[in-house]
Structure 1
């Protein structure tokens, strides 16, 4: 065999060896698995039934109005607190008011029959409007005593409701209240629901 053929055969053998070595570096077992993960946020959905708690006319000093309504959790998360904020607007029929009609409409009580709580007791609408902030609003679903909250559910679970009773009174102060004849007061109660604390999931 000539030197030229031997040289050519040597180069071919070397190339084949390199290809085997190179190809061998990828000759191993492998497997792949893909995970599919989901983070789905829950919902807070509080409703009041009925939407209008009280709607009366021709009231006079001394009248009381007892009403029942429900707070309903239509969401998927527990509701920890339901904080109540108060606002109202007075329509002065004769333009002669020297006092705020809201000072003469009193909430004698607001009682949650399912939580045995009285978050509001003997407060005028003006008191509730002026003296309660977001940080100091009454919680209408908490038990009256923190001790009982340790053993019973002081929250509103999904798909459940709490029944509340409220009594309003047009207070007869024994004085001339003629300035309020024909007046009306539009009360807006806002129930603000908050979630329970986060937990390990």
Structure 2
């Protein structure tokens, strides 16, 4: 075999060896596994039953009206608080009002009976609103599902449910209104109407490690 042929074979052999070595650097075992993951958001679904809490006519100073309704959590998430906002419009029949009709309509109480529990035994009702006029209530946002009972009720173990409204549950509410008789001339309100809007806004509980 000539020198050229021997050199050629040598180069070919060397090139093949490099190719095998190079190819060896990319040879490895592998395995693949796929995971399927989901993030599903819960729901807040608050409802009030009935949607009209009070609808009354021909009221006069001194009248007291008591009604009941339910706050219902139909969602999948617990509710931590429910803020109550108050707005109203006065329809002045004679156009002669010098005062705000809302100052003469008092909310005697808004009681959350589920939070009262056995507290009624010692006269401690869970009144989230007590003795305030609709006029003053416009500037307040009480929490309708807060347990606000006193120290002794808690101490005696007579208090009801804790704060908030769990998913799939409801709270029984009682409300009392009074057209206050102030002992003065209130003739300007004859024939007037007051349209009250109560808005209940539910809030979620705090986030947690899941």
TM-score, length of structure 1 as denominator length? 0.91
Structure 2 residue aligned with 1:144: 148
For 2:35 and 2:22, how far apart are their aligned partners in 1?
A: 33
Residue among 168, 176, 190 paired with 1:167? 176
Residue among 181, 189, 192 paired with 1:183? 192
Once the two structures are superposed, what CA deviation does each residue of 1:23-81 show, in whole Å capped at 9, x if it has no partner? 11122211222333322222222111111100111111111111110111121111011
Once the two structures are superposed, what CA deviation does each residue of 1:141-170 show, in whole Å capped at 9, x if it has no partner? 11124875x995322111111010001111
For 2:93 and 2:101, how far apart are their aligned partners in 1?
A: 12
For 2:149 and 2:101, how far apart are their aligned partners in 1?
A: 33
Q: Which runs of 5+ in 2 are unaligned?
A: 117-125
Structure 2 SS opposite 1:143 = coil
TM-score, length of structure 2 as denominator length? 0.87
Structure 2 residue aligned with 1:40: 40
Please provide the CA RMSD for this pair: 1.8
Number of equivalent positions: 195
Give yes or no for contact 2:76–2:167 (8 Å, CA) kept in 1. yes
User: Residue 114 in 1 paired to residue 114 in 2?
Assistant: yes
Equivalent residues in 2 for 1:92-131 (5 A)?
92-116=92-116, 117-129=126-138, 131=139
Structure 1 SS opposite 2:175 = strand
Once the two structures are superposed, what CA deviation does each residue of 1:150-196 show, in whole Å capped at 9, x if it has no partner? 99532211111101000111111122111111100010111111111
For 1:160 and 1:126, how far apart are their aligned partners in 2?
A: 32
Give yes or no for contact 2:73–2:168 (8 Å, CA) kept in 1. yes
For 2:68 and 2:202, how far apart are their aligned partners in 1?
A: 19
Between 85-94 and 151-160, report the one with greater CA deviation.
151-160
Q: Which runs of 5+ in 1 are unaligned?
A: none
